[in-house]
């Protein structure tokens, strides 16, 4: 009996032990290998559970990449997927820091206003920027850590340069006004250096007109700034004196006036006599010589005109009822055509969209026309060179941006003697569209429409070169005019025409050409 009881007890104890073993949890240790980096404490994780991802460790100058399953970093540890089944080590991988090849340069003012922020390559130099402007202050330079920055320094890191100003010392000057019998409340002016000023007009003595302020050398003072103390003298003229030696006359659709003295300060206005409003004459049409001043007013329709000339901004000369006649337009060039040849309408006035270009010996190689790529009279007129296959200057882009494609009328107004400009054809050469065997110096104007070449006054002369009008495209090479100019010492032709011929028939001619009121002297012998 007792033996049976012992067996039963033993069986019961065994069942209890088995039950306890089945309920016991298995815990595993998870360690994090950082290879000398920031220490990460081990974690205890139940078998079959996920381990929580720790913070990314730091490791001096290295950059943390990821956690890996093996020390060779071949498999990334997936914290949301891999369960723990035994004691485990997870490995941290670090990479070298990538050093930026760029640095930032910031320009600021002392009030922290950012002027500019730029990016430069490492070990390069900063370009010196434009100096900032602050009214009443002088810019001292760009500073780094309180010292003026050396722009020869190679950049190794980001830099903030501070622009510093110092208050400008105000320098003042005194202008003393001597009235010479006039009247003015204040006879001295104090002006700062570089500051603009306007001189007052005194009340003139009875019977006189104030004509301006003059310096001690009797030169009229027209400046608006000064850098020294000065004394100026009021000058007056008898209001009843208006004696000018002048003559005037007309040529078709133009007026000329000559005044027998140098009038460097002169403005000219004109109007139809029946109108009220005057029109100002271009200053280029007022030619001041050593002993006389010549005025040319061109582009006039037929009628009577009044001309007003103002001297020294005060004195005035008015010439009334000047009778202007029209050009004779009964020639073949005008037959059944009412668009106006060249830059002028049939009534003698400029076309509304006409461009006026004044040409002198001094500016002939620098003139420009908006919408045309070339600079200089020769390069503009001699546009055939850009389409010639034998020319050293052949260029389709230049040709497409030349007179050949331009659609506004142009008048070239020649003042004085103009010798051969740069860009015309070269002598006995294909350069600039020339040809072997010719004498060169021709402006070969190809496919241009509505061009006028006009001399201003009696001395206008094309000297040592000529003009060749050409047409190669239907609807181009139409409407050219040469007027009031002298040709002298031209090496080939003074004026030539060239169209396209096919089978003995002129298929594309130069059309509507009008050459008149011009003089042709002997060319080269």
Domain residue ranges in the chain:
27-96, 102-167, 172-238, 246-324, 332-520
Radius of gyration (C-alpha) of the chain in whole angstroms: 46
Residue 220 is given by DSSP the state B
Domain 246-324, CATH among 3.40.50.300, 3.20.20.140, 2.70.98.60, 2.60.40.10? 2.60.40.10
pLDDT at 525: 52
Q: So what CATH class is 172-238?
A: mainly beta
Question: Residue 75: what pLDDT?
Answer: 95
In the 3-class helix/strand/coil scheme, how is 368-431 assigned residue by residue?
CCCCCCCCCHHHHHCHHHHCCCCCCCCCHHHHHCCHHHCCCCEEEEEEEEEECCCCCCCCCCCH
Identical fold, 27-96 and 246-324: yes
pLDDT at 245: 83
DSSP at 453: E
How far, in Å, CA of 270 to CA of 281, rounded?
7
**Cβ(233)–Cβ(213) under 8 Å?**
yes
3-state secondary structure of 142: strand
In three-state secondary structure terms, 5 is: helix
Let me know if 213 is exposed, middle or buried by CB neighbors in 10 A (0-12, 13-18, 19+). buried
Q: Are 496 and 467 in contact (CB under 8 A)?
A: yes
Sheet containing 230-238, strands listed edge to edge, beginning at the edge strand earlier in sequence: 188-192, 172-178, 230-238, 208-214
pTM score, whole prediction: 0.57
End-to-end CA distance of the chain: 163
**pLDDT tens-place values along the chain, 525 residues long:** 455 655 555 555 555 444 544 557 899 999 999 998 999 999 999 999 999 999 999 998 899 999 999 999 999 999 999 999 999 999 999 998 776 688 899 999 988 899 899 999 989 999 999 899 988 889 999 999 999 999 999 998 999 999 999 988 888 999 999 999 889 999 999 998 888 999 998 988 877 778 789 999 888 888 889 999 999 999 887 765 556 788 999 999 999 999 986 666 889 999 999 998 999 999 999 998 878 899 999 999 999 999 999 887 767 788 889 999 999 999 889 999 999 999 999 999 999 999 999 999 999 999 999 999 999 999 999 999 999 999 999 999 999 999 999 999 999 999 999 999 999 998 888 898 888 877 789 999 999 999 999 999 988 999 999 999 999 999 999 999 999 999 999 887 899 999 999 888 999 999 999 999 999 998 875
- The pLDDT assigned to 145 comes to 92
- Long-range (24+ apart) CB contacts under 8 A made by 369-373 are 369/406, 369/410, 371/406, 371/408, 372/401, 372/402, 372/403, 372/406, 373/397, 373/398, 373/401, 373/402
Cβ contacts of 470 within 8 Å, gap of 6 or more? 384, 444, 445, 446, 447, 477, 497, 498, 499, 510
Per-residue model confidence (pLDDT) at position 436: 85
pLDDT of residue 243: 64
For domain 102-167, the question of CATH label 3.40.50.300 is answered with: no
Q: Residue 512 phi/psi, 5° resolution? A: 55, 55
Look at residues 337, 327, 330 and name the one whose alpha carbon lies nearest to residue 301. 327
CA distance 169 to 324: 61
Q: What is the CATH code of the structural domain delimited by 27-96? A: 2.60.40.4270
């Amino acid at each position: 009996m007792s033996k049976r009881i012992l067996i039963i007890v033993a069986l019961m104890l065994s069942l209890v032990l088995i039950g306890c073993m089945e309920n016991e949890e298995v815990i595993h240790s998870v360690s994090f290998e950082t290879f000398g980096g920031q220490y990460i404490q081990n974690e205890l994780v139940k078998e079959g559970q996920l381990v929580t991802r720790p913070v990314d460790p730091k490791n001096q100058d290295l950059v943390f990449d990821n956690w890996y399953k093996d020390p060779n970093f071949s498999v990334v540890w997936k914290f949301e997927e891999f369960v723990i089944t035994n004691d485990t080590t997870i490995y941290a991988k670090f990479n070298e820091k990538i050093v930026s090849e760029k640095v930032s340069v910031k320009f600021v003012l002392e009030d922290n206003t950012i002027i500019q922020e730029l990016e430069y390559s490492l070990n390069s130099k900063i370009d010196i920027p434009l100096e900032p402007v602050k009214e009443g202050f002088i810019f001292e330079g760009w500073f780094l850590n309180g010292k003026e920055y050396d722009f020869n320094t190679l950049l190794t890191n980001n830099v903030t340069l501070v622009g510093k100003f110092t208050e400008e010392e105000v320098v003042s000057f005194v202008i003393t006004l001597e009235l010479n019998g006039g009247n003015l409340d204040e006879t001295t002016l104090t002006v700062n250096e570089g500051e603009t000023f306007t001189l007052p007009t005194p009340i003139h003595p009875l019977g006189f007109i104030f004509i301006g302020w003059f310096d001690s050398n009797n030169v009229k003072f027209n400046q608006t700034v000064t850098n020294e103390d000065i004394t100026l003298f009021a000058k007056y003229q008898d209001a009843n004196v208006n004696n000018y030696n002048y003559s005037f006359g007309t040529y078709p659709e133009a007026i000329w006036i000559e005044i027998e003295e140098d009038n460097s300060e002169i403005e000219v206005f004109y109007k139809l006599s029946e109108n009220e409003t005057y029109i100002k004459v271009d200053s280029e049409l007022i030619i001041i010589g050593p002993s006389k001043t010549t005025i040319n007013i061109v582009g006039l329709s037929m009628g009577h005109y009044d001309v007003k000339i103002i001297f020294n901004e005060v004195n005035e000369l008015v010439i009334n009822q000047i009778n202007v006649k029209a050009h004779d337009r009964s020639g073949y060039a005008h037959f059944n055509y009412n668009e106006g040849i060249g830059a002028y309408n049939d009534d003698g006035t400029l076309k509304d969209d006409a461009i006026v270009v004044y040409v002198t010996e001094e500016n002939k190689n620098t003139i420009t026309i908006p919408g045309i790529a070339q600079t200089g009279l020769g390069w503009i007129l001699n546009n055939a060179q850009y389409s010639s296959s034998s020319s050293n200057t052949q260029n389709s882009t230049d040709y497409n941006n030349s007179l050949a494609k331009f659609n506004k009328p142009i008048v070239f107004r020649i003042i004085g003697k103009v010798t051969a400009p740069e860009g015309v054809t070269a002598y006995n050469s294909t350069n600039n569209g020339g040809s072997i065997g010719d004498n060169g110096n021709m402006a070969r104007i190809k496919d241009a429409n509505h061009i006028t070449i006009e001399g201003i006054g009696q001395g206008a002369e094309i000297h040592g070169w000529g003009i060749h009008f050409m047409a190669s495209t239907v609807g181009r090479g139409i409407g050219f005019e040469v007027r009031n100019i002298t040709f002298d010492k031209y090496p080939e032709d003074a004026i030539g025409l060239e169209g396209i011929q096919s089978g003995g028939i002129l298929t594309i001619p130069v059309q509507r050409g009008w050459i008149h009121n011009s003089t042709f002297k002997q060319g080269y012998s």
